[in-house]
Amino acid sequence: MYLSVRYGIGTVMTKPTGKLYQQVAQAIARAIDDGRYAVGTRLPGERELAEEFAVSRHTVREAMIALEIRGMVEARHGSGLYVVGTSNDGGTPAELDIGAFELIEARILFEGEAAAVAATVIDDEALAELDRILADMASFDPASAEAMETDRRFHLCIAEATGNTVISTVVAMLWSLRDRAPLSAHMFAEARREGIHPRVDEHRLIVDALRARDSALARKTMRDHLRRVVEDLLAATEVEVLRRARSEIEDQRGMVAKRLHA
């Protein structure tokens, strides 16, 4: 498979060298280094870049955040992302591993099926444990570390309820990657800062489906829940860009006010 890169001068086919968001980030970084996007200029919008590279909005968002972390682009004046440096200007060339959207895509696949399997074999003891976890989730401050850990316990409990060690190991690995992969950790941390936390009602719907031993419904409620996590992350990263832009505007207003009153 090749990545389509047009740069406005005709399509260029480049061989992939990493994950899709990394390919997009690398292509834009090369374009910046080659002067196609000069320092100080505005990058094309998210929708335009998605069309340019024939990828999803999620992939472009992860690529842009990766470039922000590397110090190559930043938000300005609420008008989009601007180039602020090249890959040789101090931005780290280290790979950022796994993005949050890529990770959730895998979780939708694995945890959706894990819930479907669990619905066929789950016992009363596991259901009681899930009820206890839901009670804990409802009692903790949503922004607390305890609430985050309770969310993890909930999903791992369902995976373990399948009775399949491979399934439970894979789900546990996906949860571990959420906090270990730098890009993913950055995006989830931003979501928490924006007040996005585990929703008890969505988790309760999953337990209801498991208690009914309804595999199709268990799969659907799990997938619906994780798709809402994707929507939350998109909203959180949009808010992050807007907040930085507002902060910069306020700084500029302050500077103008000082000059006017000098």
pLDDT tens-digit series, residues 39-66:
889 899 888 898 989 988 888 888 888 8
Q: Is 239 exposed, middle or buried (0-12, 13-18, 19+ CB in 10 A)?
A: middle
Same structural domain, 125 and 183 = yes
pLDDT band of 167, cuts 50, 70, 90: very high
Query: How far does Cα 249 stand from its chain's mean position?
Result: 27
Domain count, the chain: 2
Residue 13: give the domain boundaries: 3-96
Same structural domain, 116 and 222 = yes
pLDDT at position 179 over 90: no
pLDDT band of 77, cuts 50, 70, 90: low
pLDDT at position 74 over 70: yes
In this structure, what are the phi and psi dihedrals at residue 38, rounded to the nearest 5 degrees?
-75, 155
pLDDT band of 3, cuts 50, 70, 90: low
Same structural domain, 156 and 74 = no
Spatial separation of the C-alpha atoms in residues 80 and 46, rounded to whole Å: 9
Mean local confidence (pLDDT), 115-125 = 97
What pLDDT does 22 receive? 83
Same structural domain, 76 and 121 = no
**Cut 0.85: pTM above it:** no
Report yes or no on 246 lying in a domain. no
Mean local confidence (pLDDT), 6-29 = 63
Same structural domain, 114 and 223 = yes
Q: What is the percentage of the chain residues whose pLDDT exceeds 90?
A: 35
Spatial separation of the C-alpha atoms in residues 207 and 158, rounded to whole Å: 9
Residue where one domain finishes, among candidates 74, 96, 118: 96
Mean pLDDT estimate for the chain: 80
Same structural domain, 148 and 222 = yes
In 3-state terms, what secondary structure has residue 208? helix
Same structural domain, 118 and 66 = no
Chain length of the chain: 262
Spatial separation of the C-alpha atoms in residues 208 and 4, rounded to whole Å: 45
Q: What is the percentage of the chain residues whose pLDDT exceeds 70?
A: 77
Instruction: Name the residue among 19, 6, 24 with its Cα closest to residue 64.
Output: 24
pLDDT band of 13, cuts 50, 70, 90: very low
Mean local confidence (pLDDT), 74-84 = 76
